[in-house]
Chain A
Amino acid sequence: MTTTTPVPTETECPPIDFGELKSECVAPRPSIMGQKRGLRSILWLSFKGIVRGLLTTLSYFRRPSTVVTQQYPENRETLEMFERYRGRLSLIHNEEGEHGCTACQICERLCPNASIIITKDKKNEATGKPALDQFIWRQDTCTFCNICVLVCPFDTLEMTGDFESSVYDRRLLVFNLNEYAGPTAGQLDKLEDDELAKAQMKPMKKYQGPVPMCGGEMDGIPKLDVEKPTDV
């Protein structure tokens, strides 16, 4: 049996002169047995430490009010997320259901992992300007870095506190963020003909198409019913 005790290996190099790095603040290291104490004081300190530890845990045991557990599905009603919580990306729509996205694609360019795919109508027939067709956001690859929200020049993106996003099929994690395909709220306001403006807002579904990279149909996975409501 080897009965070596650990010895720091100091012989390998000449001692280093730490010079000015030496500090005056030495942590006051408490120890019961390390210092040259009498047996009685060691015993007393050990006993005291053990009893105080026991009393600490007991103090929590006898006060059920200190329980911090949150019972999640039950407290769903009262659960409040912080307003800045990054749960799910959403495109802001005003009261009339109009968004402000001009499809400038800055967010798409600056997204670190290509989670945003924007397709646009190059020239809207009514306004003559580019209009948003699809704002696809892939939650399955998103890292919630918040850069898209920050860089948007029109402040049309926001992160919402909706954190319950688990689904059984990752294809359900691809969202169409815009509720309609068409020009922004500002451009629609400029159109004098209300009927014409209405006609520009082609409603979009919440979910559109399969995950682009992984394909719509996979071996062993049934084809996804796109029409199915995707509420979580």
Chain B
Amino acid sequence: MADALLNQLSLTLSVHTSDVFVAPAMSLADRASRALESGVWGAVLYIVIGLVAVLTAVSVLGLVMSYIERKVAGHFQCRLGPMRVGPHGVLQSLADGIKLLFKEGIEPGHGDKVIFIGAPIFSITATILLLAIVPLAPGIQVVDMNVGVVYIAAVSGLGVMGILMGGWSSNNKWSLLGAMRAGAQMISYEVSLTIALLVVVLFSGTLKVSEIIESQQQGWWIWRGHGVAIVAFCLYVIASTAELNRTPFDLPEGESELTGGYHTEYSGLRFSFFFLAEFANLFVFSALAVTFFFGGWLPFHVGNYEGFNSVMDLLPPVISPMFWFGSKCATLIFILMWFRWTFPRLRMDQLMRLEWKVLLPIGFANLILAATVVLTGLYFFPSAT
């Protein structure tokens, strides 16, 4: 039994090493399917490696993003932001992380202990699951499902469960209020978010995320979509801000109203899980926007201007996708941060009114318009084929 296990392990390992070092052209997704097909242990190994990689990514993302957020916020507000730990405070998030690690995890009396502990884990799991489908570069994607968009819609809805659980189990009225707000808000804006993504699905004719990027070789959907895509993008940005619980839609936290909302009672590592999930979500939602509207890792091309396009292609193919994806993402994240540090917060009824009376009708009308555009084939930059 043990021998067989070891054999299997070494086999899968050899398969993997050969895949990684010998056949770099093979995409991660293909590798995944091969690993999954190679047997139970291969699948387990792949899942473990994938999970570790994504978890590390989430932590690093959380650290980096919180540093960037604080720095950006500082400069928006005529401040410097963190300056003390390390040069220009680069190690500040790390120091904060270590501090959170050593803090006491306080559990509220008469709270539901199991759910209380489970909530942050649930919250961060949803983020990790969502991160799995983000294509960072050709082939660098943990899973590439053929129903990717449906998966995104399904998994991003899970995040609200963690928040609801956390707020309910805290045995605190402020937390409960925050959680209820979060539930109402995230479920409502989920609809707009999905409808905005559906526009691109209509354009590209596929649910598979990597194929959506491939379909933008001739031009990003935001340009080619006749304004329909621009409306969809605006809807997406608004809805994702609401999904992320960031100002102007940070009602569930609303620290001036609810003293912190659903995570009022959380401290230490559990709090940091919520925190990490929030920042990783910020990355994930911008990454999805880039994937759907801005051509993912594709470089910036303008129509048939060959000269311009070749300048854009100058980067070596190994760095190019990462560079383009990263810079597009950074821009979007910056815009979300810009919103956060400028706007005040909406009220709950206004928030609901905005979704159900404004965004949703616009979203549906936009979807119908998109269908018309697709049926008539009226794209800008029609594809060569």
Q: B-contacting residues of A (Cβ < 8 Å)?
A: 50, 53-54, 56-58, 60-61, 64, 66-69, 71
**A61, B72: Cβ atoms closer than 8 Å:** yes
| Closest chain A CB from B78 CB (angstroms) | 5
Number of interface residues of B (CB under 8 A): 14
**B83, A71: Cβ atoms closer than 8 Å:** yes
**A53, B75: Cβ atoms closer than 8 Å:** no
B339 neighbours in A (Cβ, 8 Å): 54
State which of A53, A67, A71 has its C-beta within 8 Å of the C-beta of B342. A53
B380 proximal to A (CB < 8 A)? no
Q: 7 A-B pairs, CB-CB below 8 angstroms?
A: A57-B342, A58-B338, A60-B77, A61-B72, A61-B76, A61-B338, A69-B80
**B76, A67: Cβ atoms closer than 8 Å:** no
Complex: chain A residue closest to B343, CB-CB: A53
Q: Which of B42-92 contact A (CB under 8 A)?
A: 72, 74-80, 83
Overall SS of chain B's interface: loop
Complex: chain A residue closest to B72, CB-CB: A61
| Closest chain A CB from B115 CB (angstroms) | 27
**A54, B342: Cβ atoms closer than 8 Å:** yes
**B80, A57: Cβ atoms closer than 8 Å:** no
Q: How many A-B residue pairs have CB under 8 A?
A: 36
**B338, A66: Cβ atoms closer than 8 Å:** no
B341 proximal to A (CB < 8 A)? yes
**B78, A66: Cβ atoms closer than 8 Å:** yes
**B78, A68: Cβ atoms closer than 8 Å:** yes
The docked-state distance in angstroms from the alpha carbon of A66 to that of B72 is: 14
| Closest chain A CB from B105 CB (angstroms) | 30
**B78, A67: Cβ atoms closer than 8 Å:** yes
**A61, B75: Cβ atoms closer than 8 Å:** yes
**B75, A67: Cβ atoms closer than 8 Å:** yes
**B83, A57: Cβ atoms closer than 8 Å:** no
B338 neighbours in A (Cβ, 8 Å): 54, 57-58, 61
**B79, A57: Cβ atoms closer than 8 Å:** no
The docked-state distance in angstroms from the alpha carbon of A53 to that of B341 is: 10
The docked-state distance in angstroms from the alpha carbon of A5 to that of B342 is: 30
A71 neighbours in B (Cβ, 8 Å): 80, 83
| Closest chain B CB from A154 CB (angstroms) | 46
A57 neighbours in B (Cβ, 8 Å): 76, 338, 341-342
**B342, A60: Cβ atoms closer than 8 Å:** no
**A60, B80: Cβ atoms closer than 8 Å:** no
Q: Across chains A and B, which 10 residue pairs bring their CB atoms closest together, nearest first?
A: A69-B80, A57-B342, A57-B76, A61-B75, A61-B76, A68-B78, A53-B342, A69-B79, A66-B78, A54-B342
The docked-state distance in angstroms from the alpha carbon of A58 to that of B341 is: 10
| Closest chain B CB from A184 CB (angstroms) | 49
The docked-state distance in angstroms from the alpha carbon of A57 to that of B72 is: 11
The docked-state distance in angstroms from the alpha carbon of A232 to that of B72 is: 36
A56 neighbours in B (Cβ, 8 Å): 342
**B75, A64: Cβ atoms closer than 8 Å:** yes
B76 neighbours in A (Cβ, 8 Å): 57-58, 60-61
Complex: chain A residue closest to B334, CB-CB: A61
The docked-state distance in angstroms from the alpha carbon of A54 to that of B74 is: 15
Complex: chain A residue closest to B80, CB-CB: A69
Complex: chain A residue closest to B344, CB-CB: A53
The docked-state distance in angstroms from the alpha carbon of A67 to that of B74 is: 9
Complex: chain B residue closest to A68, CB-CB: B78
Most buried by B among A50, A57, A60, A71: A57
User: Known contacts being A53-B342, A54-B338, A54-B342, is A60 close to B83, with CB within 8 Å?
Assistant: no
The docked-state distance in angstroms from the alpha carbon of A50 to that of B72 is: 19
The docked-state distance in angstroms from the alpha carbon of A150 to that of B339 is: 52
State which of A50, A53, A61, A67 has its C-beta within 8 Å of the C-beta of B80. A67
Q: Apart from A57-B341, A58-B76, A67-B79, what 12 extra A-B contacts exist at CB < 8 Å?
A: A50-B343, A53-B342, A54-B339, A56-B342, A57-B76, A60-B75, A61-B72, A66-B78, A67-B78, A67-B80, A69-B79, A69-B80
| Closest chain A CB from B160 CB (angstroms) | 23
The docked-state distance in angstroms from the alpha carbon of A82 to that of B356 is: 58
Most buried by A among B77, B83, B339: B77
| Closest chain A CB from B338 CB (angstroms) | 6
The docked-state distance in angstroms from the alpha carbon of A28 to that of B9 is: 77
Complex: chain B residue closest to A59, CB-CB: B76
B75 neighbours in A (Cβ, 8 Å): 60-61, 64, 67
A61 neighbours in B (Cβ, 8 Å): 72, 75-76, 338
| Closest chain B CB from A107 CB (angstroms) | 42
B72 neighbours in A (Cβ, 8 Å): 61
Q: Which of B141-185 contact A (CB under 8 A)?
A: none
The docked-state distance in angstroms from the alpha carbon of A54 to that of B340 is: 10
